[in-house]
């Protein structure tokens, strides 16, 4: 196996723009709102862009190689993550996502919990995370029905590098002027409650079913650990994913986990992933990783090195107990 790159799946959106051209040269025409970079969903499935599996769909590769790609603890019937870049030139709808129980019953797929990393923040960059304090469900429902929900939104300015955890049930919106790296459960279910009179379908009844006004969106500072040649920041850990930020100054040696795949998303700088190819591991190969790239580390890759000057988001479906133990060992 080898580190897998994929073709970018681009989606035009009413609120999209052209800011991904700052580090991409393959944008199609139009206002591009989303790039699905590692995806295995009915609404978009990645195609391998490098190596001997080039041209193969990710679901086909999983069927062919299963554990060697995604790991012994990941079910091949449902790929757990969807990794995107989002460019919001205009504000997205005010929305909410259901949890697994509701989504499975009503939509026939998983719910959606996600985490945002602000890759770029332009003038006026902002996000909505939750409602203002003391907003009741009755107040919120009346505001939604009258088109005045914005007055209850907790809209905050953001800067490059900010991180926010968006749990299912949390009312939220990506505001204008940002590029976001979004790591989420593998789901495409969104309930819009307000869309600034743009004429798209709203899902108010379902949204009111799943919204939890007790949830608050708070910036994640994480737990930073200084290492030789790099710094690691544990940003987010939940049943659906773990997110860690690697700030590579020189290099970082790692090893894959046969139980699960890893995904790295480069949010700043560039470098390379060095790994050994072949069963006898006698030849070292490399894959270049640049800002905006996402690369899947197969579960059976073995030892690899991240080298360069770059910031990488590492995401994966965790063994929570194992990661918690790792964090405790790091901070002791």
Which structure tokens are listed for 315? 């995401």
Q: Which residue has the tokens 């955890």?
A: 165
Buried b (16+ CB within 10 A) or exposed e, 135-150: beeeebbebbeeeebe
* Contact in structure between 275 and 286 (CB atoms under 8 Å): yes
* Catalytic residue from among 192, 198, 260, 290: 192
**192 flagged as catalytic:** yes
Distance (Å, whole) CA 191 – CA 315: 25
| 3-state SS track over the chain | CCCEEECCEEEEEEEEECHHHHCCCCCCCCCEEEEEEECEECCEECEECCHHHCCCEHHHHHHHHCHHHHCCCCCCCCCCEEEEEEEECCCCCEEECCCHHHHHHHCCCCCCCEEEEEEEECCCCEEEEEECCCCCHHHHHHHHHHCCHHHHEEEEECCCCCEEEECCCCCEEECCCEEEEEEEECCCCCEEEECCCCCCCCCHHHHHHHCCCCCCCCECCCEEEEECCEEEEEEEECCCCEEEEEEECCEEEEECECCECEEEEEEEEEEEEEEEECCCCCEEEEEEEECCCEEEECCCCCEEEEEEEEEEEEEECCCHHHHHHHHHHHHC
Return the active site residues.
192
């Amino acid at each position: 196996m080898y580190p897998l790159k994929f073709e970018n799946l681009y989606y035009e959106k009413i609120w999209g723009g052209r800011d991904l051209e700052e580090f991409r040269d393959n944008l199609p025409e139009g206002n591009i709102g989303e790039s699905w970079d590692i995806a295995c969903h009915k609404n978009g499935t990645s195609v391998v862009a490098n190596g001997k599996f080039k041209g193969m769909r990710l679901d086909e590769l999983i069927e062919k190689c299963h554990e060697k790609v995604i790991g012994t603890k990941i079910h091949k019937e449902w790929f757990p993550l969807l990794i995107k870049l989002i460019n919001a030139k205009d504000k997205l709808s005010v929305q909410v996502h259901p949890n697994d129980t509701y989504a499975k019953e009503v939509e026939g797929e998983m719910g959606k919990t996600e985490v945002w990393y602000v890759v770029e923040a332009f003038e006026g960059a902002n996000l909505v995370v939750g409602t203002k304090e003391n907003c009741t469900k009755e107040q919120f429902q009346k505001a939604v029905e009258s088109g005045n929900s914005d007055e209850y939104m907790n809209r905050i300015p953001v800067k490059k590098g900010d991180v926010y955890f968006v749990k299912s049930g949390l009312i939220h919106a990506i505001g204008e002027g940002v590029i976001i790296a979004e790591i989420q459960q593998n789901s495409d279910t969104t309930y819009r409650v307000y869309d600034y009179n743009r004429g798209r379908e709203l899902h108010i009844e379902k949204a009111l079913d799943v919204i939890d006004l007790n949830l608050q969106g708070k910036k994640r500072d994480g737990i930073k650990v200084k290492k030789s040649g790099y710094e690691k920041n544990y940003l987010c850990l939940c049943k659906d994913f773990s997110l860690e930020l690697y700030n590579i100054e020189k290099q970082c040696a790692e090893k894959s986990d046969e139980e699960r795949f890893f995904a790295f998303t480069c949010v700043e700088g560039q470098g390379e992933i060095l790994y050994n190819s072949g069963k006898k591991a006698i030849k070292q190969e490399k894959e270049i990783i640049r800002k905006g790239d996402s690369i899947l580390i197969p579960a059976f890759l073995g030892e690899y090195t991240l080298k360069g000057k770059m910031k990488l988001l590492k995401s994966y479906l965790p063994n929570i107990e194992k990661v918690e133990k790792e964090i405790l060992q790091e901070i002791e």
